[in-house]
Chains A and B, each alone.
Chain A
Amino acid sequence: MAAVTTSTERTLNKLAIAGVLIVTLIFLAPIYWIASTAFKPRNLSTTIPPTVVFTPEVSPFVKLFTKRSQLRSPPTPEEYAAAPWWERMVFDGGEKVVRDGKGNVQWSGYPSRFMNSLIVATISTILAVGMGTLTAYGFSRFKVKGEGDLLFFILSTRMLPPVVVAIPMFLMYRTFGLNDTHIGLIILYTAFNLSFSVWLMKGFMDEIPKEYEEAALVDGYTRMQAFFKVVLPEAATGIAATAVFCFITAWNEYAFALIMTNRRAQTAPPFIPSQVGSGLPDWTVIAAGTLLFLLPVAIFTFLLRNHLLRGVTFGAIRK
């Protein structure tokens, strides 16, 4: 197409860009708020009007990772001088870092919750996408009796808000001893994501011409080899897009994590707000925890961004 633009079109273009910028700012504002709070001294975190200019510090992160207790009396100058730089920050806040009998620093609950989130989200994503891809391939390539009904049934698992089944699920989990276990949460999130994964992957699989596999079959490969060598690389875009969505769902899930776990397998989402209730809420620590919690999804999405962009528009154009 010839690139002829009139002045009206140019004005409209500028307006559109301005509109997009405004929307972007609105969306980025909460992220900025969390990020800035995570580096604020505690006393500046709740000022009205909000403090915008301040000297950033890392004390919220130190507090996030360590177990602390209130100081009854200020530390002696010797104690203060002997403490490492990060422990002094805790002293400055009127608290002290808890140590065990041997003097080892006690960690807070955050790192283990964060690891739980990583383990549960990663494994459930791999399972949901893996099983979803195989199921979708089956539905897409073979004659399955009652295909429409089965696909509808799979989709119907998403028709209720999940919380509706929270109580029965809780009772079932208690019976089977799955409460507060990693495997319990992994099963739960895999089941949540599976219907979504099957449907999304079915769309992608349908788009891959079956001649590719047929060519591979004639070229001397088995059906399974053809699937792994030809179909899977072709489906990479779809797998990446589906994986991102599944990971985000599992990573952000709050309600079931709150109900089904309390300590051993608790993930970060129910843990972070639980810090609000102990004493006066330290918003800077909550912000630091939230900011770190945002990173894995951001990194994961960033790494897969090329696939994702193709993925969400895939199937829009017939080749």
Chain B
Amino acid sequence: MTSIELRDVQKYFGSLQVIKDMNLKIEDGEFIVLLGQSGCGKTTTLRAIAGLETIDTGDILIDGKPVQDLKCSDRDIAMVFQSFSLYPHMTVFENIAFPLRATRMSKTDTDRRVREIAQVLRITDLLDKRPSALSGGDMQRVAIGRALVRRPKAMLMDEPIGALDAKLREEMRAEIKRLHLKQGSTTIYVTHDQIEAMSLADRIVIMHEGRLQQVGSPTEVYSRPANLFVAQFVGSPVMNVAPVEVESSGGSIHVGVGGASRFEFPATLLAQLDTADVRTNELALGVRPEGVLVSRDEKNGYFPVEAHLIEPLGSYDIVDLRVGDQILRARTRSGYIERAGARVYARIDPSQTHFFDTSSGDSLGIRL
């Protein structure tokens, strides 16, 4: 049983604050992904939990006990590094046995534990080899083995598959998921790759410039982004965000995008906007490409637009639509629009839209 908690954690590098007011509680057995761009403080947070960085103020608690003043060797936490950090002068066996030797475990027990973990990771036949003789994926397995063998309280992973090529990354992603399900250890995983985050996490923690932006399940952060940063960081292709004007006339609500097109929205929008109390010139609409509906034929509620650019991605196409002076990206089925420059019709699905206050960047929490 291991829970980890960060309370009001602040960390400075010189005058630069890299972690700002970090508060986070990680439950036992949870798989948490810290997601953010490089330099957002996610790796520093992880290293602070491991004990490789000191924090300036705040508490880090493992199972309720503050550990911020403990050395990393006393925190009973394992870590997998992006560079794998396998000791080049040791064989795979010695690498995996290394953390056990620190605990002065007997030779027979060490041997048994190493072989057990090697079997789980399917690297038994590599035990006598040196790290330099291994492929990237196998190095990664050994690194995970070295972290797991001690049965640590928690497992920290710093972009563990970032150095692998795309295909191997996908394989290892599945393997990490499988291992987590099997071992059930509390895991904190750092990545800048949102697909990795979405596919692995129980909860995703999104960070930006040292500040925690949103914590939630993959579905939550995808479908209910807390602010513009999260909205545009999570999801590929990125969410369309455009300044909008809201007009009401004769009981119906129209949302103007790009100065020209007016999309019809449910009347409840107005009341929700009133509650949100946002200035009209600071209102932005966000909609994911799948929320922009495209038709080749004229339909009720659809506006004529120009298909500006088509990106065929195999299973679907991403079409850039010119809507007034804005570009909205829409997701269509593969080959639906045959050529760029064609005149098509578009509508925004109100149930898939988000409204943001551009001055603060926060979502207004409007659901239609």
- Interface set, chain B 59-99, CB cutoff 8 A to A: 71-73, 76-79, 81, 83, 85, 87-89, 98-99
A234 lies within 8 A of B52 (CB): no
Q: Are A218 and B50 in contact, with the CB atoms below 8 A?
A: yes
- Collect the chain B residues with CB atoms within 8 Å of residue A233's CB: 87, 89
Q: Which residues of B contact A219 (CB under 8 A)?
A: 73, 78, 98-99, 102, 146, 150
Please indicate the chain A residues that have their CB under 8 angstroms from the CB of B156 in the complex: 218
Binds B, one of A87-95, A208-216, A245-253, A286-294: A208-216
Please tell me if the beta carbons of A234 and B102 are within 8 angstroms of each other in the complex. Answer: no
A220-B73 in contact given A211-B81, A214-B52, A215-B79 (Cβ < 8 Å): yes
A217-B51, A218-B50, A218-B77 known; A234-B89 Cβ under 8 A: yes
Q: Which of A176-221 contact B (CB under 8 A)?
A: 209, 211-212, 214-221
Q: Is the CB of A220 within 8 A of B85?
A: no
**Which residues of chain B are within 8 angstroms of A216 by Cβ–Cβ distance?**
87, 98
Name the distance in Å between A23's Cβ and chain B's nearest Cβ.
35
A220 and B51 CA atoms in complex are apart in Å by 11
A220 touches B99 (CB 8 A): yes
Shortest Cβ distance from B158 into A: residue: A211
The total of chain B residues at the interface (CB under 8 A) is 23
Please pick, from A211, A222, A229, A234, the residue contacting B83 in the complex, using a CB distance under 8 A.
Answer: A211
Cα A234 to Cα B150 in complex, Å, equals 24
Note all chain A residues with C-beta closer than 8 A to B77: 218
* B15 at interface by CB-CB < 8 Å: no
A304 at the interface (CB under 8 A from B): no
Closest B residue by C-beta to A230: B87
Contacting B at CB under 8 A, from A137-174, are none
Pairwise interchain contact A220-B88, C-beta atoms closer than 8 A: no
**What's the least CB distance linking A284 to chain B, in Å?**
48
- Decide: A217 and B52 in contact? CB cutoff 8 A: yes
User: Complex: how many Å from CA A229 to CA B102?
Assistant: 11
A220 pairs with B103, CB closer than 8 A: yes
- How many residues in A have their beta carbons less than 8 Å from beta carbons of B? 18
Residue of chain B at shortest CB distance from A226: B73
> Per DSSP, are chain A's interface residues mostly helix, strand or loop, or mixed?
helix
Q: How far is the CB of B125 from chain A (nearest CB, A)?
A: 24
Evaluate contact between B87 and A220: CB separation under 8 angstroms: no
Given A214, A221, A222, A229, which contacts B85 in the complex, CB threshold below 8 Å?
A214
- A214: min CB distance to chain B, Å: 5
A219–B50 CA distance with the chains assembled, in angstroms? 10
Q: Are B85 and A215 in contact (CB under 8 A)?
A: yes
Q: Write out, one digit per residue, whether chain A residues 232-244 have a CB within 8 A of any chain B CB (1) or not (0).
A: 0110100000000
Chain A residues 259 to 306 lying within 8 A of chain B, measured CB to CB, are none
**In chain B between 241 and 266, which residues have their CB closer than 8 angstroms to a CB of chain A?**
none
User: Do A221 and B73 have beta carbons less than 8 Å apart?
Assistant: yes
Bound: A222/B81 CA distance, A? 18
Tell me which of B73, B87, B103, B146 contacts A217 (CB under 8 A): B73
Expressed in whole angstroms, the minimum distance between the Cβ of A285 and any Cβ of chain B is: 47
Do A222 and B73 have beta carbons less than 8 Å apart? Answer: yes
Q: How near does chain B come to A207, taking the closest CB pair, in angstroms?
A: 12
Q: How far is the CB of A141 from chain B (nearest CB, A)?
A: 12
The answer to whether A222 and B71 touch across the interface, beta carbons within 8 angstroms, is yes
Q: Are B72 and A218 in contact (CB under 8 A)?
A: yes
Complexed CA–CA distance, A233 and B76 (Å): 25
Closest beta carbon of chain B to A305's beta carbon, Å: 19
Contact A220 B81 (CB under 8 A): no
Residues of B within 8 A of A221 (CB): 73, 102
Give the chain A neighbours of B72 by CB distance below 8 A: 217-218
**Is the pair B52, A218 in contact by a Cβ cutoff of 8 Å?**
yes
Alpha-carbon distance A236/B85, docked complex (angstroms): 18
C-alpha gap A221/B81 in the complex (Å): 17
Residues of A within 8 A of B50 (CB): 218
Q: Smallest Cβ distance from A227 to chain B, in angstroms?
A: 13
Q: Is the CB of A218 within 8 A of B87?
A: no
Q: From residue B118, how far is it (CB to closest CB) to chain A in Å?
A: 17
Bound-complex Cα distance A220 to B152 (A): 10
User: Which residues of the other chain, A, contact B81 by a CB distance below 8 angstroms?
Assistant: 211, 214-215
Question: Using Cβ atoms and an 8 Å threshold, which residues of chain A touch B87?
Answer: 212, 215-216, 230, 233-234
- Asked if residues B88 and A234 are in contact (CB atoms below 8 Å), the reply is yes
Please indicate the chain B residues that have their CB under 8 angstroms from the CB of A234 in the complex: 87-89
- Which single residue of chain B is at the shortest CB-CB distance from A208? B88
Which A residue's beta carbon lies closest to that of B89? Answer: A233
- Most chain A Cβ neighbours within 10 Å, of B73, B89, B146: B73
Asked whether A218 lies within 8 Å of B89 as measured between CB atoms, the reply is: no
Tell me the minimal C-beta distance from A144 to chain B in angstroms.
16
> Contact string, B6-35, partner A, CB cutoff 8 A, digits 1/0?
000000000000000000000000000000
- What's the Cα separation between A217 and B89 when bound, in Å? 17
**Nearest A residue to B149, CB-CB:** A219
Return chain B residues, CB-CB under 8 Å to A218.
50-52, 72-73, 77-79, 156
Interface flags, B308-332, vs A, CB<8A=1, else 0: 0000000000000000000000000
25 contacts between A and B (CB under 8 A): A209-B85, A214-B52, A215-B79, A215-B81, A215-B87, A216-B87, A216-B98, A217-B52, A217-B71, A218-B52, A218-B72, A218-B73, A218-B78, A218-B156, A219-B73, A219-B99, A220-B73, A220-B76, A220-B150, A221-B73, A221-B102, A222-B73, A225-B102, A230-B87, A234-B87
15 new A-B contacts at CB < 8 Å, known A217-B51, A218-B72, A220-B150:
A212-B85, A215-B79, A216-B87, A216-B98, A217-B52, A217-B71, A217-B72, A218-B73, A218-B78, A219-B73, A219-B102, A220-B102, A222-B73, A233-B89, A234-B87
Complex A-B, nearest 6 residue pairs according to Cβ-Cβ distance, in ascending order: A220-B102, A219-B99, A211-B85, A215-B85, A233-B89, A218-B79
**B-contacting residues of A (Cβ < 8 Å)?**
209, 211-212, 214-222, 225, 229-230, 233-234, 236
